[in-house]
A and B are shown apart, each in its own frame.
Chain A
Amino acid sequence: MADNKKHDGHMESLMNQLAESVLGLSDEAVLAETNETGTDPEQEAERTRLVLRHAAKAFDNVNNRLLDLDHAVNSNDWRRGRSGYHNTCLNCGSSVFITATGGMRGQALDGQCPESDRYTTRRREASC
């Protein structure tokens, strides 16, 4: 049993150190290494960019949906939970979740905000 405990995390430590070593590489070195693995660097980089774009788009989709339904969430109030990222509508208190893979769910997405004017400041108020 003691051996088990001693053994814990060695592979993690090894892989994490290899990960850190990648960050210290020059641009030329990382391109050369990618070539050596038999992968086209440009193609792989674009695949990675697509993943990043997709995640950003998923966040857009959630916000657009909330906007369509007149819910107002504070962009600084997102909290990480087990199943993703959680926020609540400032007006009605209903919940919204973005999953780590970009999915969305929650009561706030089910319908129009019933108390949409509580915290929403409109032009005429701002102009006074």
Chain B
Amino acid sequence: MAHLLPYLEPPSTPLPPPLTSPRSINASPKSALLVENDEHLLNFFRRSLTDEGYAVRTAADSEEALRLYHDCAPFNVVLIDYYVPQKNGSGIDCLVPQTHGIGLARAIREINLSQGIIIAALDYQTAQEVTRPRELMHIPLLIDISNFQLRGLLEKIEVDRMLEMLTTAELLKLQRFADFRVRGLGRAADGRTGKDLLGEAVVRTLTGAEDTQKGRHWNKNVDFVQHLAGAIRSISNCWKRHCKEEVYLVSELVIHDVEGQEYSPLDNLASEQVAADQCLIEKDEESRVLATFKDDSDATHVLQGLLNGLKKHEIMLRYGLGEKQYAAVVKRIRVKLMGLKSGGTRGEKHGR
């Protein structure tokens, strides 16, 4: 298999250094560089990428691709056929496999380590058969030309890119958001943390799975932070629901008496009754939170308002708080509760 690795030879004339201010190919939000010398495949891939919203630049050989990359990078994705020649046109020995796709991928990676790349290796049955150097093993392979595999890889590259682009503030917001959501779950959190919630939000984004049985990946028109926040809301609601369903499963235990009559051991409990221990835990948590702010009357008012289901404007009206004052109080509550969590006095106990 050594013949499959003739890495891209250096071009006869040195290439210019990558542009410091890259010229994007156009105003399209997503761009792709497609490197393919087979006309049918070129058309197929171009159509597929266009359908997914990419503005597509094409190159038929690795030299042309590298030139285009230098001129127009970065691209959202570079799709390279494993069997792309180094140079198109006459002089190519058609009997020798032209496998410059790997060399091109390596050259692009040397320019931009984080460039999203897909290698189409459609002549292979499995990924294991595709010879690649170790440093390129992480690059996803397209083995099956069916649209769903390409779509999945494109989605993954986009999500990876967005994860790397999240700013410090955005990451902190997501973490806080997830932490508060988990804390609100009480026992339904079942020992899971905000980090578990964040991790599942990414898995859900990549699988596109929904409870509704209808797949939904990240809608690129929605801000990525908002999308992840939506996934976090949905997952935490799901955890809560599953926890409640487990209660119902126990209540559905059916027992037959000697006369064959069916009854449940929990028949005497009201059907919508909240488990007593769950209620006690919640009351305990409420008391603990209120006690934390016993010396802060504004915070106590806001907390009591929120606990009683009042809206922001209702709380402001009832307790005579202005907008800025209300924001300052909520900030104090957040900081103190998060501080308690950081100090380890909460969290571990929660939901066990």
Contact = CB atoms under 8 A, between A and B. Distances in A.
Given A8-B274, A49-B163, A100-B196, A13 B306 contact: yes
B107 interface: no
Interface in A50-82: 51-56, 58-60, 63-64, 67-70, 72, 74-80, 82
B152 A63 contact: yes
A22 B195 contact: no
B59 to A, nearest CB: 18
Contact of B229 (A23, A51, A125): A23
B248 interface: no
A42 B276 CA distance: 42
Given A14-B306, A36-B339, A100-B199, A56 B206 contact: yes
B219 to A, nearest CB: 14
Contacts of B204: 80, 85
Interface string B320-349: 000000000011011101110010000000
A37 B338 contact: yes
A71 to B, nearest CB: 10
B209 interface: yes
Interface in B162-196: 163-164, 166-181, 183-186, 195-196
Contacts of A36: 335, 339
Interface residues of B, number: 98
Interface in B199-219: 199-204, 206-211, 213, 215, 217
A49 B167 CA distance: 10
Interface residues of A, number: 81
Interface of B: 38, 40-41, 44, 122-123, 125-128, 138, 140-141, 143-146, 148-149, 151-152, 155-156, 159-160, 163-164, 166-181, 183-186, 195-196, 198-204, 206-211, 213, 215, 217, 225-226, 229, 235, 238, 240, 242, 270, 272-274, 276, 278-279, 282-283, 285-286, 289, 303, 306-309, 330-331, 333-335, 337-339, 342
15 contacts: A4-B274, A4-B279, A8-B274, A14-B306, A14-B307, A16-B184, A18-B333, A52-B202, A53-B163, A59-B203, A59-B207, A80-B211, A82-B242, A122-B145, A123-B38
